[in-house]
A and B are shown apart, each in its own frame.
Chain A
Amino acid sequence: QKEVEQNSGPLSVPEGAIASLNCTYSDRGSQSFFWYRQYSGKSPELIMSIYSNGDKEDGRFTAQLNKASQYVSLLIRDSQPSDSATYLCAASNAGNNRKLIWGLGTSLAVNP
């Protein structure tokens, strides 16, 4: 059973702090990894995609991938109350008809 696991939280951080969200996956054939943000009552929206080992930065967001450890993380610097949402991690294996395997999501609360 291919799985993506996340700590459900809630993760609570003060405004301005770094929020660290973690995700592990079981399918070693996974090649593409994604972080989505979902506000309550809204659809998921793509924040970051990462395909290679190492770090990928986009503004206040940094995605980190370690394929040897089957681990993906998302760091949010200078967290803002508007970052409060559920963050979903997803993985894809091109050999699996491009289907995404989704984690259950981590709830993040940024406190003013």
Chain B
Amino acid sequence: SAVISQKPSRDICQRGTSLTIQCQVDSQVTMMFWYRQQPGQSLTLIATANQGSEATYESGFVIDKFPISRPNLTFSTLTVSNMSPEDSSIYLCSVQTGDTEAFFGQGTRLTVV
């Protein structure tokens, strides 16, 4: 398993601003995953973050809106840029062990007003 510390746990932001979410893992992992979960919905993968290379974004998500950093094997950040109320959601970082079992951070509940 892996222990993941994610922060902030929640924030209320003004539209047009940006928020950076941080994720720290207690062990080195090759890939980290960023998800969005809207109320009552399942998980939607935003991007996969590999250390030393650019993140791979899923359809519907772009780097300008959701820039990701992955400076080392234990840390990643996701920025939600130029926020609008439609960005209000829970954002989750995740890592997967060798058998693809996924473990999650505590989540960031974002409200854009």
Residues of A at the B interface (CB closer than 8 Å) are: 32, 34, 36, 41-46, 49, 51, 88, 90, 92, 94, 97-100, 102-105
The range of chain B's interface size is: 20 to 34
CB contact between A97 and one of B48, B92, B104 (< 8 Å): that residue: B48
**Nearest 4 pairs between A and B by C-beta?**
A43-B104, A92-B100, A104-B42, A102-B43
A49-B99 in contact (CB<8A):
yes
- 6 more contacts with CB within 8 A, not counting A43-B107, A49-B99, A97-B48, are A32-B100, A36-B102, A44-B102, A45-B104, A88-B43, A104-B42
The B contact surface, by secondary structure, is strand
A90-B102 in contact (CB<8A):
yes
In the complex, how many angstroms separate the beta carbon of B23 from the nearest chain A beta carbon? 12
